[in-house]
Amino acid sequence: IASLLLLTSTTTAFSSWVPKRKSVSIHQNYRITTRQVTADAHSSVTTASSASDDASVEWDMSLFSPAKINLFLRIIRKREDGFHDLASLFQTIGFGDYLHIRKLGSDAEDDVLTCNMDGVPTDRTNLVMRAVDLVREKTGIKDQFFQMDLVKYVPHQAGLGGGSGNAAAALYGVNELLGNPATLEELVEWSGELGSDITFFLSEGTAYCTGRGEIMTPVPPLPNSAGTKLCIVKPDIGLSTPSVFKALDYDKLSKADPENVLQIFQTEGMSPSEDEKFINDLERPAFKVLPDLEELKNDLISCGFETVMMSGSGTSIFCIGSTSDPEKFSNLIESRDDVNVYSTEFINRDGNGWYTSPDDTSTKIQ
C-alpha cells in the first residue's frame, strides 16, 4: 500500500502535523494512521495471516524486536574475504516487530514459523529459524521444538536491522524458555555466526560495533538521549546492501577517526555540535545508485529537523528532533505517495530483561 504510515504513541512530538484520518489500533497504545485504512491492523501493513490473531494460541513468551539506526557509520577498509571493516554507533528505537514463541509438545518433530508479512520466508532461510537451530546445536538440547509467530512492521531493505533484531529476539527467547542453558556472553559469541548486526541487539541498546559489525562494545546510553524523538522516512523502493557497497568510492570516504567521533557522542550526546559526528559513508554510494534518495534527504533537511541522515545502507532516512516547519513537512509527505513515515524514539533495555516498546510491557514467560 502506498500510504502515509505513522506509528506513534499518544504523546508523539509530531502530532501537530498529522492529518486527521481514520485510525486502527495496534499493539496496545500504538496506533497506525494511514491514507487508506484496510480491514485490520495487520493488513494496513501486510496482507498475510498471523498466528498471533488466533486467540486459542497461548504463547509462552512475546518479545518486542526493536529496529536500530546508525548514529554514525564509517567504512574503514575492504577485507581480503570481500567483507568490509566498519565502525559504527548503533542505537535501538521504539519501532519494531513482535516475536511470539511457545514450546511444542514432545510429539513435535519440527519448529513452526508463521509471519504476517508477505514475502518473508518461514523456512530455514529465515534468521529466526536459524537462530533456534543454533541454540539447539550449541546447547545440545535437540529434542525441544517451538511454534513462533513473527509480526512484522519494520520494512525490508530499510537499513533498520529488522531481520537481525528478529534473530536476536529468537536467540534470547528460546534460551529463556529452555531454562537459560547459555549465558548472554555465549549468545553474543554465537550470534556472529548468523550475521553481522545480530550481536548488537543483544546489547542494552547502545553499542559501538566494529569488524563486520559483529564485534560489539556496549556503551552507556548517550547523555540526555533517553526518549529522543525521531521519525523514520522510508521510501517504498529499497536498496540491497551489496549494490550500495559496489558503488562505494574509497577515495571519498570520511577521514574522521571513529574513536574520536564516538567520544564526541559520549560527551555531547544528541546535542548540536560544531564537530562532525553524524557521518554515514554509505550515503554517497546509495545516492549514486538511487539519486531520488538524495533529493528526499535534501527536502527533509529543508523542513528544519535538527539532524537528517540515512540509516545503514538505506533506504530509510531518520530525522531527529522536531521540524521547525511542520506545515512544510506535512505538505512534503502529502505530496508523495511512495513514502512511509514512522514516529518513534530512542529506547534502551534494562540488563535484567528484554526490550519493551515505549508503551508496551508484553514480554512475559508463563
Distance in angstroms (rounded) separating the CA atoms of residues 18 and 119: 30
Comparing CA positions, the residue from 7, 128, 89, 79 lying closest to residue 312 is: 89
| Angle between the N-to-C axes of helices 162-177 and 127-139, in degrees from 0 to 180, rounded to the nearest 10 | 40
Q: What is Dmax (Cα atoms) for the chain?
A: 63
Among 97, 197, 281, 299, the active-site one is 197
152 is catalytic: no
How many Cβ atoms from other residues are within 10 Å of residue 137's Cβ? 12
Among 68, 152, 229, 297, the active-site one is 68
197 is catalytic: yes
DSSP assignment of 180-213 equals --S-HHHHHHHHTTT-SSGGGGGSSSEEEEEETT
C-alpha cell at 50: 498471523
Q: End-to-end CA distance of the chain, in Å?
A: 37
Residues annotated as part of the active site: 68, 197
